[in-house]
A and B are shown apart, each in its own frame.
Chain A
Amino acid sequence: MNANAIRELGAGVIGSVERLGRASMFLYDIFAASRPLFHRFFLVIQQVYAVGVLTLLIIMVSGLFVGMVLGLQGYNTLVRFGAAESLGLLVALSLVRELGPVVTALLFAGRAGSALTAEIGLMKATEQLAGMEMMAVNPIMRVIAPRFFGGVVAMPLLAALFSAIGVLGGHIVGVGLLGVDAGAFWSQMQNGVDFRDDVVNGVIKSVAFGITVTWIAVFEGYDAVPTSEGVASATNRTVVYSSLAVLGLDFILTALTLGEV
């Protein structure tokens, strides 16, 4: 009984390490197979459309509302200290540094990552990937790599769009509804937001999240058990793992870039 539990623990650890190794080899395979993509760039463009353009609406709407809520909440707190003019700074810093990349990555995992996993998993379940191999077509080059790079390209653009629209949403609420001075709103923001420390770090974060989420999504799809049940649990795992990875990675990246831990 007891020995069995220990054996299960060991099997679990070995299994997860094995999976991690497989995922790393898989990432290497993607990069190794990516050279032909330069000649067939349309494959990547197709995936940027599927992963980026179709995610645009949800990103823009959530960005607008997140910015508006930040405007409302921030105003209520700041006005107590007579610092309502700093609202622009508060909204911009929270969006550019944290909420933009993180919320976009979470939405991206839910909207695009799950779709990627389901698509690839279904291809595997219906033996399309095996069929490609039979025709001497490398499925990693033809199917996986375009999706991976499509996601990596789309994610930073989506995050930038989220932050920009969020700032506009904060402007609508702060200046339009609550009567914060528009000049102070923007000038405080420009004084406080540093290009290298804040904007570039946000972009670095979004690139890292893009790689993480798409990597997990395509790996889970490729590694799925080729049954309908297997695809379902792979999709589920994609969303859970990539959300957790994004939040954990966010802490590490913030600690590294702020350099104060």
Chain B
Amino acid sequence: MVQRKTLEVWVGLFVAVGILALAMLAFKVGNLATADVLNGYQVRANFDNVGGLKVKSRVTMAGVPVGRIAAIGFDNDRYQAVVTMNLDGRYNRIPVDTSAAILTSGLLGEQYVGLEPGGADAYLKDGDKLTVTQSAVVLEKLIGQFLFSKASEAPTNSAKPAAPAPAPLPR
């Protein structure tokens, strides 16, 4: 049997190393160090369509994350999505007429909210509402619009090159 003291040293080392590993998982592997929104304030915005936006998606301004999506609800009267954003308390000088747009990172990336600052002198407070919003781009609608516009301009466009084609070849 191992001596009591060496045994205690080993167990102490084991527990210390285990906790160290856990700390590494939390801070180096996980995002606890760069963690979340500090004493944030909440701002709402209505969107016609949120697309693939999810709770905990990023809210960015000039590409820098300034908050996260706290909740996504549905406005039963206006048939719009109500997105509640939790903005970091350090960024407390965002103008009230800031606009929000739902953007996509990369071609197939996740969707996030991009804020575009306005020019007002008053700053956003907890519980404020952003009025100018731009919905997510829905790919099907975009393709539909594209096809529709193509179809509508097709007769004028194809009239010129198509005209000489049916002319019968002279014998």
**Which residues of chain A have a CB within 8 Å of any CB of chain B?**
42, 45-46, 48-49, 52-53, 56, 92, 96, 153-154, 156-158, 160-161, 163-165, 167, 186, 189-191, 193-195, 198-199, 202-203
In angstroms, Cα B146 to Cα A42, docked, is 75
- Name A195's contact: one of B7, B19, B32 (CB within 8 Å): B32
Between A and B, how many residue pairs show CB distances below 8 Å? 84
- Ordered by A's residue number, 25 sampled pairs between the chains whose C-beta atoms are within 8 Å are A49-B2, A49-B7, A49-B10, A49-B11, A53-B10, A56-B14, A96-B29, A156-B18, A157-B17, A157-B19, A157-B21, A160-B18, A160-B22, A160-B25, A161-B18, A163-B25, A164-B22, A164-B24, A167-B29, A190-B30, A190-B34, A198-B30, A199-B25, A199-B26, A199-B32
Set of chain B residues within 8 Å of A53, measured between Cβ atoms: 10-11, 13-14
Q: Is A45 within 8 A of B28, CB to CB? A: no
Known contacts A157-B21, A163-B21, A164-B25; decide if A191 and B14 are in contact (CB<8 Å): no
Q: Is the interface of A mostly helix, strand, loop or mixed?
A: helix
In the bound complex, how far is the Cα of B30 from the Cα of A198, in angstroms?
A: 8
Q: A45-B8, A53-B14 are in contact. Are A195 and B21 (CB under 8 A)?
A: no
Residues of A within 8 A of B31 (CB): 190-191, 193-195
Q: How large, as a class, is the contact surface on chain B? A: 20 to 34
Residues of B within 8 A of A46 (CB): 7
Q: Which residue of B lies closest to A56 (CB)?
A: B14
User: Contacts A157-B14, A193-B30; is A96 near B7 (CB within 8 Å)?
Assistant: no
Task: Please judge, given known A-B contacts A194-B31, A199-B29, whether A52 and B21 are in contact too, CB under 8 Å.
Answer: no
In the bound assembly, the distance between CA atoms of A92 and B17 in angstroms comes to 19
Chain A residues near B2 (CB-CB < 8 A): 49
Extra contacts, 8 of them, besides A96-B29, A194-B30 (Cβ < 8 A), are A48-B11, A49-B7, A56-B14, A156-B18, A163-B29, A189-B29, A195-B26, A199-B30
**Residues of A with C-beta under 8 A to B26:** 195, 199
Asked whether B15 is an interface residue with its Cβ less than 8 Å from the other chain, the reply is: yes
Q: Is B141 an interface residue (CB 8 A)?
A: no
Check if A92 sits within 8 Å of B29, measured CB to CB: yes
